[in-house]
């Protein structure tokens, strides 16, 4: 087990090294940079700035300078904000994490419950309705669903604020502040949940249907166990196993931000920050954030594999 973890950690370092080459290479090879982008600057001023930011050096040298700093946890300064990338990210990432974690929680809960019910009553009215509903929810583009929901709940009914994270000009503190954020979170979380729940429901339904046809379910029934025990103890536990791998992919998504949804609801998340950095070619910020996601992906994959071992006895002992 120890040797396995050490080997996996070594692979992780190699993977991340490859990822860093790709990430830096792609951004460095894109023509134009933060300085070229600004038409108000004179040529002399541009040359001066490029020297200051180190943009005049050869690509390979720039890569190793960047990598050397990155290894020490320093991803450089955002050109646009003139702040360290790490502190900038930590300001925005938690906002994204807030809505992403809430919607992930709801998505999984709803998907598991609906998936199990519709699998145990395959081809019933409920099952057909859910299958069609899941398809419909999946097919909505997020900008359309978002705007529609703003129109209904914020404009027509006036139940929830249409955007932002706090009410403009509000100085609420303590519990009042928490309530305000929850009030603002509601609509973006609703959109994200709606978009995610379809595919996950179908996933759980298929998994459950497959498990429920297995021999050991027949044994459980032949033992005279209650149908509830058969479904929730014997079937669901087995159906949840492959979902652990899926959970591994969710972790980067929790911090990755939802670009379109955040934009529509004007949520100060990292997705919006990322979009802005793109249009201004704020490369240090872009590279830092992409690298951060790469690290998260690799770590969560390792975590998922280890968790799988805990949950499935057949993997545990190998």
Partner 1 sequence: MTNALLTIDHLQTHFFTPSGVVKAVNDISLRVREGETVCIVGESGCGKSVTAMSVLGLVAEPQGKVVGGDIRFDGVDLLQLSPLEKQQLRGNDIAMIFQEPMSSLNPVLTIGEQIMEPLWEHLLLSKKEARAKAIELISLVGIPRPEEIMNAYPHQLSGGMLQRIMIAIAISCNPRLLIADEPTTALDVTIQAQILDLLREIKETYNTAILLITHDLGVVAEMADYVVVMYAGKVIEEGPVLELFSNPRHPYTRGLLQAKPVIGQRKKRLNSIPGQVPNLIGLADSCYFHDRCESCMSVCRLKQPELKQIDDGHRVACWLYEEESGLA
Residues that bind partner 1 (CB under 8 A): 123, 214-216, 218-227, 229, 233-234, 237-238, 241, 311-314, 317
Q: Please, what is the minimum distance in Å from the beta carbon of residue 214 to partner 1? A: 7
**Identity of the residue, 55 or 116, whose beta carbon is nearer to partner 1 in the bound complex:** 116
3-state secondary structure 106-153: HHHHHHHHHHHHHHHCCCCHHHHHHHHHHHHHHHCCHHHHHHHHHHHH
For partner 1, give the closer residue by CB, 17 or 232: 232
Q: Read off the DSSP letter of residue 78.
A: E
Task: Decide whether 9 or 311 has the Cβ nearer to partner 1.
Answer: 311
Cβ distance to partner 1 smaller for residue 88 or 208:
208
C-alpha 286, offset from chain centre: 16
Residue 41 tokens read as 């600057």
Pairwise CA distance, residues 92 & 270, whole Å: 5
Q: Tell me if 92 sits within 8 A of 273, measured CB to CB.
A: yes
> Minimum distance from CB of 217 to partner 1 (Å)?
8
> Considering the complex, what minimum distance in angstroms separates the CB of residue 240 from partner 1?
10
- Which helix (H) or strand (E) segment is 84 a member of? strand 83-84
Least distance to partner 1, CB of residue 105, Å: 24
Which residue reads 């429920």 in tokens? Answer: 212
List Cβ<8 Å contacts ≥24 apart for 253-256.
253/100, 253/104, 254/96, 254/97, 254/100, 254/101, 254/104, 255/93, 255/96, 255/97, 255/100, 255/292, 255/293, 255/296, 256/96, 256/100, 256/293
Residue with tokens 């050490």: 6
Shortest spacing between CB 4 and partner 1, in angstroms: 19
If the CB atoms of residues 239 and 298 are measured against partner 1, the closer one turns out to be: 239
* For partner 1, the closer CB: 127 or 180: 127
Measured from the CB of residue 226, what is the shortest distance to partner 1 in angstroms?
7
């Amino acid at each position: 087990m120890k040797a396995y973890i050490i080997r996996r950690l070594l692979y992780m370092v190699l993977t991340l090294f490859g990822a860093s080459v790709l990430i830096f290479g792609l951004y460095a090879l894109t023509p134009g940079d933060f300085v070229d982008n600004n038409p108000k600057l004179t040529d002399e001023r541009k040359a001066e700035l490029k020297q200051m930011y180190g943009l005049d050096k050869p690509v390979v040298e720039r890569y190793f300078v960047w990598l050397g700093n990155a290894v020490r946890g320093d991803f450089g300064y955002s050109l646009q904000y003139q702040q360290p990338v790490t502190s900038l990210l930590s300001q925005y990432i938690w906002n994204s994490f807030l809505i992403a974690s809430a919607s992930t929680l709801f998505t999984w809960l709803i998907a598991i419950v609906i998936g199990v019910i519709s699998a145990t009553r395959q081809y019933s009215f409920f099952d057909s309705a859910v299958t069609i509903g899941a398809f419909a929810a999946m097919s909505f583009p997020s900008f359309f669903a978002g705007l529609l929901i703003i129109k209904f709940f914020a404009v027509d009914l006036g139940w929830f604020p249409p955007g932002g994270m706090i009410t403009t000009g509000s100085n609420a503190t303590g519990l009042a502040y928490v309530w305000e954020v929850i009030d603002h979170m509601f609509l973006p979380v609703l959109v994200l949940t709606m978009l995610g729940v379809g595919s996950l429901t179908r996933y759980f339904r298929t998994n459950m249907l497959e498990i429920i046809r297995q021999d050991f379910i027949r044994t459980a029934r032949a033992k005279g166990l209650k149908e509830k025990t058969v479904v929730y103890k014997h079937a669901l536990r087995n159906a949840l196993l492959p979902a652990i791998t899926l959970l591994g992919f969710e972790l980067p998504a929790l911090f990755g931000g939802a670009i379109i949804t955040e934009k529509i609801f004007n949520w100060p998340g990292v997705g919006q920050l990322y979009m802005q950095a793109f249009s201004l070619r704020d490369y240090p910020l872009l590279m830092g954030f992409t690298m951060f996601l790469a690290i998260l992906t690799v770590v969560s994959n390792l975590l998922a594999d280890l968790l799988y071992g805990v949950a499935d006895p057949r993997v545990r002992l190998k």
